[in-house]
Amino acid sequence: TIDPGLISISLSSIILFLYWTLLEGYRGQSIGKMALKIRATGRAGEDIGFGAAAVESFGKAFLLVPDCLIGWLAMSGSKQRLFNRISGTVVIETREAEEPEGVTYVKSDG
């Protein structure tokens, strides 16, 4: 028989894989990355697209511990996970301006 706990872990991994692939492939950010003001990009700062997002997300969803350990220990100094390296992606801080351009603030007496 199949262990129900194994099915639960597999289903969770598949859902996380799809979530990260879709959001990071579409805009480079999952909700967590948006909150931390970071995003996944290509090495030259370009959008990564769904293919690279799928490769990068596979490591997080299914092989997180070896993905981190191999990346951080075998490629010390890079601060990258193995699947970031394989997918050609990097995680960067977003540059959001404190004040949006072209906005005029008006004081209200209300």
97 pLDDT higher than 60: no
Task: Provide the domain limits for residue 42.
Answer: 4-93
Q: What's the one-letter identity of residue 62? A: F
Q: What is the mean pLDDT of residues 46-51?
A: 96
Tell me phi and psi for residue 42, to 5 degrees: -75, 170
Other residues' Cβ atoms within 10 Å of the Cβ of residue 11: 10
Tally the domains of the chain.
Answer: 1
The model's pLDDT over 11-23, given as tens digits with 9 standing for 90+, comes to: 999 999 999 999 9
| Residue position matching structure tokens 């991994």 | 13
Does residue 109 belong to any structural domain of this protein?
no
pLDDT of 39 strictly over 80? yes
CA distance 41 to 45: 5
Domain presence at residue 102: no
Mean pLDDT of 19-35: 96
Q: Let me know if residue 101 belongs to a domain.
A: no
Q: Please spell the DSSP secondary structure of 66-106, one letter per residue.
A: HHHHIIIIITTTS---HHHHHHTEEEEE----SS-TT----
